[in-house]
Amino acid sequence: MKFDTLIIGGGLAGLTCGIRLQQNGRRCAIISNGQSALDFSSGSLDLLNCLPNGGQVCDLPQGLAQFVQAQPQHPYSLLGVDCVLQQAVQFERLAQQLSLNLKHGGTNNHLRLTPLGSLRPTWLSPASVPTFDCDEKMLSPQKVAVLGIEGFNDFQPQLLCDNMQRLPHFQQWQLHFAYLHIPELDHLRNDAREFRSINISQALEHKLNFQQLVAELKKVAAGAKIAFLPACFGLDNDDFLQQLQQACGIKLFELPTLPPSLLGIRQHRLLQKAFEQAGGIMMKGDSVLRAEMTATQVTALYTRLNEEVALSAEHYVLASGSFFSNGLVASFDQIIEPIFGLDLFKQEQRSQWTHHRFAASQPYQQFGAKINARCQAIKQQQVVENLYAIGAVVGGYDAIHQGCGSGVAVVTALAAAEQILQGETQ
């Protein structure tokens, strides 16, 4: 089977790259084992949150300019600030076109409220989550109800309230917490493993007791005009949440729960649907076993479901993720990129893989494939001309402590797609 581009990995980076290529008439296939970090994400997308000195980033162009000077190995430094900002704008346009229902963006970060009651800077957030401007120090008085669901342990409203009350932003807010009693969820309470956000959403989407749920919301909100809920109301989008809001007359916001996260799952489904509607082929439940290569070219891939049939393409994109999805594999004494054997940013000695403080930036989080300024992968110090590496499989950055994981995914995805498209038109 032959394609214009074969993409390994169906997460944020792989799908973004595939959608861009399909929209420009390229025939793409994505090989996906079905596991994506998107399903565990908050739904907010970070471009850059933190400077090397620990300072928070509000102005993105200014923050990026300072950041790349101190982080020469970071993908943003390789691509250049202008490219990063350009591709960020392109993704915002794509998100609007695909109706991902994201807000903010532009050249400034905003603050999103986390499920633990802290405020975290970020770039784009789902329209249904509570967010605030970076320069807001004390918010105007509000009466807010934080509502959990009886028996649902993946969202703790009391903890959220307690931590919010410690922040100066919420000093003038009247906060109280309560729990929704929803009888139609009783069958899930018998097994804690089944009482998760996905199962709750599936049980509620039939709206068998919609008016009863509206009445319960009004009662426990106790006169509050704003309520925060766990993201359990709507598996594919926030339409159900909006219907609840209209029926009860209370402004409803949702917060991500412990994984699996409906906010991330919604984005994953929308992106996958957009790729397939554009003509892309999803090879779901499959994984690459091996690659055939020359010194500077990939010539074919063989997968678990196509062990004897070569999959070939003009271009290949590695978007296989990091350790979470086996894009990188660690044994006791070594770390490898298992498909192509690419050169990696890594520490050779195992003692240097981790920091003794658990909360510190861990060195292994920066391990990953080496790329050049065109996102082309490097093997044995040579550029593999038709292989691009994007997203979490790329090394040289700490997605968690720098707050840039989603940004690196979409920026490298769109930059690689642009290189492929330019190369085919030359």
Buried b (16+ CB within 10 A) or exposed e, 11-38: bbbbbbbbbbbbbeebebbbbbbebbbb
At position 110, the amino acid (one-letter code) is H
> Quick check: pTM over 0.75?
yes
- Asked if residue 260 belongs to a domain, the reply is no
- Cα atoms in the Cβ-side hemisphere of radius 13 Å centred on 193: 0
- The verdict on 291 and 415 lying in the same domain is yes
Q: Which of the listed residues 234, 255, 276 is the one where a domain comes to its end?
A: 255
C-beta of residue 11 within 8 angstroms of C-beta of residue 261: no
Q: Tell whether 85 and 224 lie within a shared domain.
A: no
Q: In the numeric block, which tokens belong to residue 104?
A: 């903010």
The domain in which residue 385 lies consists of 2-104+265-423
| Residue 384 and residue 324 share a domain | yes
Looking at the fold, whether 142 and 193 belong to one and the same domain comes out as: yes
Residue 112 domain-assigned (yes or no):
no
Q: Is residue 114 part of a domain?
A: no
Tens-level pLDDT at each residue, the chain (426 residues): 899 999 999 999 999 999 999 999 999 999 998 878 899 999 999 999 999 888 999 999 999 999 999 999 999 999 999 999 999 999 999 999 999 999 999 999 999 999 999 999 999 999 999 999 998 888 899 999 999 999 999 999 999 999 999 999 999 999 999 999 999 888 887 777 789 999 999 988 876 789 999 999 999 999 999 999 999 999 889 999 999 999 999 999 999 999 889 999 999 999 999 999 999 999 999 999 999 999 899 999 999 998 999 999 999 999 999 998 999 999 988 999 999 999 999 888 888 899 888 888 888 999 999 999 999 999 999 999 999 999 999 999 999 999 999 999 999 999 999 999 997 544
What CATH code is carried by the domain that includes residue 234?
A: 3.40.50
Residues 148 and 242 occupy one common structural domain: yes
**Strands 344-345 and 281-284, how do they pair?**
unpaired
Domain-embedded: residue 269:
yes
- Boundary-marking domain end, from 222, 255, 288: 255
Would you say residue 275 lies in a domain?
Answer: yes
Question: Which two structure tokens, joined as six digits, stand for 53?
Answer: 């000195």
Cα–Cα distance, 89 to 412 (Å, whole number): 13
Token pair of 86, please?
């350009």
Helix axes of 81-97 and 405-425: crossing angle, nearest 10 degrees:
90
Are residues 348 and 272 part of one domain?
yes
- Are residues 166 and 306 part of one domain? no
Structural domain contains residue 19: yes
312 and 394 share one domain: yes
123 part of a folded domain: no
Together in a domain, 282 and 246 = no
Question: Does a structural domain hold residue 78?
Answer: yes
Q: Could you tell me the CATH number of the domain that includes residue 11? A: 3.50.50.60
Cβ-contact 371, 360 below 8 angstroms: no
Number of domains in the chain: 2
DSSP 387-418: EEE-GGGB-S--HHHHT-HHHHHHHHHHHHHH
